[in-house]
Amino acid sequence: MPEKFDCIVVGAGPAGTACAYELAKAGVNVLLLERGEYPGAKNVMGGVLYRKMMEDIIPEFYKEAPLERPIVEQRFMMMDKESAVTFSYKGLEWGREPYNNFTVLRAKFDQWFAEKAVEQGALLVCETVAVECIVENGRVVGVRTDRPDGDIYADVVVLADGVNSLLAKQLGFHREWRPDEVALATMEILKLDKNVIEDRFNLEANQGCTIEIFGDATKGILGTGFLYTNKDTLSIGVGTLLSGLIKHKIKPYELLEYVKNHPMIRPYIQGSEPVEYLAHLIPEGGYHSIPKVAGNGVLVVGDAAQLVNAIHREGSNMAMTSGRLAAETIIMAKEQKDFSESMLDQYRMKLMESFIGQDLKKYKDATHHFESFPQYFEQYIPMLNRATSQMFTVDGASKWEKQKKIWRDLGSTKQKFKLARDMMKAWKVMK
Amino acid sequence: MLHIVACIKQVPDTKIIKMNPKTNTMDRASAPAILNPYDAHAVEEAVRLKKKYGGIVSVLTMGPPPAVKAIKKCIELGADEGYMISDRAFAGADTLATSYALTKALEKIAKHRPIDLIICGKMTIDGDTGQVGPGIARRLNIPPLTGVNKVVEVNKEKGYAIVHRKLEDGYEVVKSQLPCLFTVEKDINDISFAPLPNMIKAARYQPTIWTADDLEDVDRKQLGLKGSPTIVSKVWAPPKPEGGKILTGTKEEQVNELLSIILEKKELFS
Ligand SMILES: Cc1cc2nc3c(=O)[nH]c(=O)nc-3n(C[C@H](O)[C@H](O)[C@H](O)COP(=O)(O)OP(=O)(O)OC[C@H]3O[C@@H](n4cnc5c(N)ncnc54)[C@H](O)[C@@H]3O)c2cc1C
Ligand SMILES: Cc1cc2nc3c(=O)[nH]c(=O)nc-3n(C[C@H](O)[C@H](O)[C@H](O)COP(=O)(O)OP(=O)(O)OC[C@H]3O[C@@H](n4cnc5c(N)ncnc54)[C@H](O)[C@@H]3O)c2cc1C
């Protein structure tokens, strides 16, 4: 007779581990299944981990977790072919407790986090793939794994299996994601001496910097590039909607090579050595793409539920919070011995009331808007660069004259109206 | 009921380990710790014999606390019990001290449940000596059968085992009394894909851990660094072979090219 658990969580990423941690802490008998050799073995993230949502689970985790650097500066580059307009904020308050966020390397972090869940009493089994949910009489009662005697049962199953979530798809919770609902990101970890990193990025020891790159990083395709500082490595990457890659017939690694060789970026990474190359999908459909997240005996959390805020590159925090909210719901369901969809659907309500639902709602049309109107990345960022250059080049022309030139560069009256209208629209989808 | 004990060691994965270029020693932190590959085959064979004849498989390791992970791996493979001896007193052991400490632990295990068969790996991938298995056999005064790549029969009632021992030009069939000790080759079996219940059992499993004080009749002078007469005077990397040529193409092309190279070197035939 196969064993029965209170709960099985599929996937030991931030979403699944957060859920298993909270359940185990409450005394729920939970099995955490992971296909990797260890949690994090193949997981990919640029690497910004947000302190607040992690602390909701483990207070003062930063005193022992394997973190790279606390971020004290965030830069945003609007990049053209050989220029960039950069906006940045640096604040030393971010370098002190309680901190704002940190860079992490997922292979180390996920492993540590999962160990914490095990300490709480969760049972972690790796190198095991859940191949499908076992469904009996219209409710999920367990999962089938790829191992011999591989069926295992539970009152409730949590799908935390990441962006592709084959298991939720098999249940009919979502269809195959459209190419404009997922971004493909490629990244490299580059080894570079600690002191060189600190010199180049104007940092002291135990301070970090993130750079988000818009415009020419993606050759005008909707997406972003990033360059983050770790202890003695840099994470560099670029992500664009799959639909953009298909439309422009560009291979993702070509884009990454392009960014690495861009004259605005190259000096930062010069002399570094690639130690790892990674590629992963990011769910970026946003609010409109959130699938069914609760069924009879089953919940969906994290990337599997499309919970990513692409505009603010927040995913791991939403994963953790959704995992925590799923755990809260399961604890309640267990008290009432009711694992039906109507009971578990309280999770959806919690999700929508939290910052996750609110933020995804705020930007619900943003990605789609920028995807449909490529001029933002293709024309307006270069325009901004030209205007800035014009204004700050001292060539004897008066500032009045310069403003006139910038005005002329915006094009005909009709084009200016269009620009004004586009800015209004952008404001509307972002506000 | 057979009681088989497999001796296992946790080792750094030397396929990916980095060497310290100055001292030529292994940078152990640079590679994940794994179950010594030969020992996985030792455990697999023990489990297969258990399935065939009935019995119990125990595993034993000497190592630091993280080596619990290697024992859990053996539980996944189907072992029933895990024992670990772990103590600062064992640190720095060479093969002499290692086989001494393991023997003392085996004697303690045998008190609780007599041992019929001990299986070791042929060698470890970090120490590479292949001396620990025979060392244990000598101390226990039982026959060591090295290079075993097939077990034909284990007969507890009549007290014998028949195995194939790998030789350079084939194999020999050997019959030995029980209890005895095998050291096994990798080609003895293929590691099976562990069933899920074993994975769950392993995730929960906590081995029995003994310190030096828990072992009986131990001569502390024979433990760890103190008990290790091995002196490493120098460690160096062998020079990379230079020159040479790799022939490519079909078998015929390679043979033809090889022949013409040999024929060109006339001095070979003069
Ligand atoms: C290049 C890149 C950069 C990013 N940068 C950031 C960032 O800076 N900040 C941020 O917050 N977010 C970032 N994200 C997003 C973030 O990585 C994800 O939102 C987050 O990892 C989601 O967590 P998760 O637990 O839902 O899924 P995952 O982290 O994908 O974890 C899913 C887990 O499930 C396992 N699994 C899958 N299927 C099965 C199965 N069938 N059986 C068993 N196990 C299974 C996987 O092995 C994996 O461990 C980035 C993503 C990418 C790709
Ligand atoms: C030149 C040299 C220098 C060394 N220097 C150091 C040093 O500075 N510091 C140091 O810590 N070590 C050092 N060692 C390693 C140490 O001596 C050996 O790792 C240890 O004695 C076991 O020998 P082995 O690894 O060669 O095992 P082998 O004899 O190759 O192992 C054969 C089998 O015995 C069993 N076995 C071996 N070890 C164990 C164990 N611990 N527990 C259970 N079963 C086991 C396994 O079944 C294994 O497959 C050195 C070794 C050599 C040859």
CB atoms within 10 A of CB A79: 24
CB atoms within 10 A of CB A224: 23
List the single range of A74-78, B19-23, B195-199 with lowest mean pLDDT.
Answer: B19-23
Say yes or no: CB of residue A53 within 6 Å of ligand 1.
Answer: no
- Are A64 and A141 in the same domain? yes
Cβ(A101)–Cβ(A49) below 8 Å: yes
Q: What is the pLDDT of residues A52-66, one digit of tens each?
A: 999 999 999 999 999
Q: Which of A283, A308, A330 is the last residue of a domain?
A: A283
- Are A202 and A306 in the same domain? no
- Are A221 and A306 in the same domain? no
Is A123 in Cβ contact with B203 (below 8 Å)? yes
- Are A345 and A380 in the same domain? no
CA–CA distance, A28 with A122 (Å, rounded to integer): 8
Q: Which of A235, A251, A283 is the last residue of a domain?
A: A283
- Are A395 and A298 in the same domain? no
- Are A298 and A344 in the same domain? yes
- Are A208 and A325 in the same domain? no
Q: What is the pLDDT of residues B153-166, one digit of tens each?
A: 999 999 999 999 99
Say yes or no: CB of residue A161 within 6 Å of ligand 1.
Answer: yes
**Does the pLDDT at position B264 exceed 90?**
no
Residue whose tokens read 């002399």: A271
pLDDT the model gives residue B125: 94
pLDDT the model gives residue B243: 82
Protein residue closest via CA to atom 17 of ligand 1: A45
- Domain for residue A86, yes or no? no
Q: Does B29 touch chain A (CB under 8 A)?
A: no
- Domain for residue A153, yes or no? yes
Residue whose tokens read 């390679």: B254
- Domain for residue A48, yes or no? yes
Residue whose tokens read 């977790």: A65
- CA-nearest of A403, A386, A367, A425 to A79 is A386
User: Residues 6 or more apart from B179 whose CB is under 8 A from it?
Assistant: B115, B116, B117, B118, B140, B142
- CA-nearest of B69, B5, B6, B83 to B42 is B6
- Domain for residue A73, yes or no? no
- Domain for residue A161, yes or no? yes
**pTM listed for this prediction:** 0.90
Tell me which of B124, B126, B136, B138 to substitute to probe ligand 2's pocket, judged by most ligand atoms within 8 Å of the beta carbon. B124
Q: What is the pLDDT of residues B200-240, one digit of tens each?
A: 999 999 999 999 999 999 999 999 999 999 988 888 777 88
- Domain for residue A407, yes or no? yes
Give the mean model confidence (pLDDT) for residues B240-247.
84
Q: 3-state class of A318 per DSSP?
A: helix
- Are A165 and A112 in the same domain? yes
- Are A162 and A267 in the same domain? no
User: Residues 6 or more apart from B161 whose CB is under 8 A from it?
Assistant: B117, B145, B151, B153, B154, B155, B175, B176, B178, B180
Nearest to A148 among B195, B200, B204 (CB): B195
Cβ(A15)–Cβ(A356) below 8 Å: no
- Are A11 and A126 in the same domain? yes
- CA-nearest of A361, A365, A344, A264 to A307 is A361
CA–CA distance, A41 with A46 (Å, rounded to integer): 15
List the single range of A103-107, A255-259, B69-73, B238-242 with lowest mean pLDDT.
Answer: B238-242
Cβ(B74)–Cβ(B37) below 8 Å: no
List the single range of A178-182, A342-346, B103-107 with lowest mean pLDDT.
Answer: A178-182
**Does the pLDDT at position A281 exceed 70?**
yes
Q: Which domain holds residue A412?
A: 367-430
Cβ(A157)–Cβ(A143) below 8 Å: yes
CA–CA distance, A236 with A190 (Å, rounded to integer): 8
Give the mean model confidence (pLDDT) for residues B113-130.
95
- Are A161 and A33 in the same domain? yes
- Taking the CA atoms of chain A, what radius of gyration do you get in angstroms? 23
**Does the pLDDT at position B267 exceed 80?**
no
Say yes or no: CB of residue B84 within 6 Å of ligand 2.
Answer: no
CATH numbers and ranges of domains, chain B: 3-222 (3.40.50.620)
* DSSP H/E element including A111: helix A106-120
- Domain for residue A189, yes or no? yes
Tell me which of A100, A255, A282 to substitute to probe ligand 1's pocket, judged by most ligand atoms within 8 Å of the beta carbon. A282
CA–CA distance, A212 with A75 (Å, rounded to integer): 6
CATH of the domain at A319: 3.50.50.60
**Does the pLDDT at position B268 exceed 70?**
no
Q: What is the mean pLDDT of chain B?
A: 93
CA–CA distance, B21 with B26 (Å, rounded to integer): 9
Question: What is the pLDDT confidence band of residue B21, given thresholds at 50, 70 and 90?
Answer: confident
Q: 3-state class of B55 per DSSP?
A: strand
**Does the pLDDT at position A7 exceed 80?**
yes
ipTM of the complex: 0.89
pLDDT the model gives residue B231: 87
Chain B residues with CB-CB distance to A31 below 8 A: 200
User: Residues 6 or more apart from A250 whose CB is under 8 A from it?
Assistant: A219, A221
Say yes or no: CB of residue B86 within 6 Å of ligand 2.
Answer: no
pLDDT: which is higher, A227 or B29: A227
The count of structural domains within chain A is 3
Is B203 in Cβ contact with A125 (below 8 Å)? yes
CATH of the domain at A233: 3.30.9.90
User: Which atom, in ligand 2's list, is nearest to the CA of B136?
Assistant: 34
pLDDT the model gives residue B232: 83
Tokens representing A382 are: 């270069």
Q: Which of A353, A377, A400 is the last residue of a domain?
A: A353
- pLDDT exceeding 90 applies to what percent of chain B? 79
Q: Which residue of B has its CA nearest to A5?
A: B200
Q: Which residue of A has its CA nearest to B34?
A: A37
- Domain for residue A22, yes or no? yes
Give the mean model confidence (pLDDT) for residues B91-107.
96
- Are A263 and A216 in the same domain? yes
Ligand 1 mean position, distance from CA A314 (Å):
12
pLDDT the model gives residue A166: 95
**Does the pLDDT at position B137 exceed 90?**
yes
Say yes or no: CB of residue B102 within 6 Å of ligand 2.
Answer: yes
